[in-house]
Amino acid sequence: MTTPTKRFALVTCEVFFREMCWAMSRSPNQIDMVTLPKGLHDLGSAQMSERVQSAIDGVDTSTYDAILMGYGLCNNGLAGIVAKDIPIVLPRAHDCITLFLGSRERYVQYFNDHPGTYFKTTGWIERGKIGDDLKQLSIQQETGMNMSYAEMVEKYGEDNAEYLYDELCKHTRNYGQYTFIEMGVEPDDRFEKQVREEAESKDWSFEKIEGDLTLIRQLIDGEWDDEDFLVIQPGEATRAAYDLDRIVQIESAG
């Protein structure tokens, strides 16, 4: 028996562009995609949630069966999302790396085995630039993390600049490896080479691992088991579950 075709709206971070297009081209469902810039992650959870909700509210729900979210919880950036007229489907994932690796279990295992890893994919590389409008609103802009050391010296004086630069850049000390996730949608090896070169320039380790499109395909095809996806019904909203297995849960939108 042929599975009836559904029509879904997909609201997704642009880092998934190639992977989502791959899944949509093979799906029996009709998908209309809205992409949002990667830089939303840098606005903080409240502003990110507001931007994502605005994109959801812009969907003409009369023509779709559900709205699919190409996101994880993303540092609570998807907390507070409200379903109004049709269901919203959100993967149970802390962030996009879970979707690139195909499961929470694989992500946690790799994270535990390789602490200090910074992940890269084609989307993170070719869509890594942040627009000027988002730069002005970003946390990096507000805290000065986007400033060079010379700019800090000019603005704050040498002693203050040394302290600020040291504090603001602490997070980079926790990293020592680039891992390139090869998803099978790359046109050639240019992205892998770029990551290798970046690792060499920083004197970091490099590893290439194979990605897994399972969760992305299941999202697009409508295979939403409760273990890996949260279906938010009209009148409900999302909130963080603070549970490594559930990730997100439902609360009343009221």
Q: What is the pLDDT of residue 140?
A: 41
Q: Looking at the DSSP assignment, which residues form a beta bridge with residue 7?
A: 30
- 223-249 pLDDT, tens digit per residue, is 999 999 999 999 999 999 988 789 999
Distance CA 132, CA 116 (A): 29
Domain ranges of the chain: 7-96+212-252
Q: Is 142 a residue whose pLDDT tops 50?
A: no
Q: What is the pLDDT of residue 138?
A: 33
Give the containing element (helix H, strand E) for 69: strand 66-70
Percentage of residues in the chain having pLDDT higher than 90: 70
Q: Which of 52-61, 173-182, 212-221 has the lowest mean pLDDT?
A: 173-182
Distance CA 97, CA 117 (A): 12
Give the β-pairing of 177-182 and 205-210.
Answer: parallel
Q: What is the pLDDT of residue 160?
A: 64
Q: What is the pLDDT of residue 127?
A: 83
Q: How many CB atoms lie within 10 A of CB 240?
A: 17
Q: Is 144 a residue whose pLDDT tops 70?
A: no
Would you tell me the crossing angle of helices 149-156 and 158-168 to the nearest 10 degrees? Answer: 140
- 75-122 pLDDT, tens digit per residue, is 899 999 999 999 999 999 999 999 999 999 999 999 999 999 999 999
Which of 55, 89, 76 is closest to 220 using CA atoms?
89
- 158-172 pLDDT, tens digit per residue, is 666 565 555 555 555
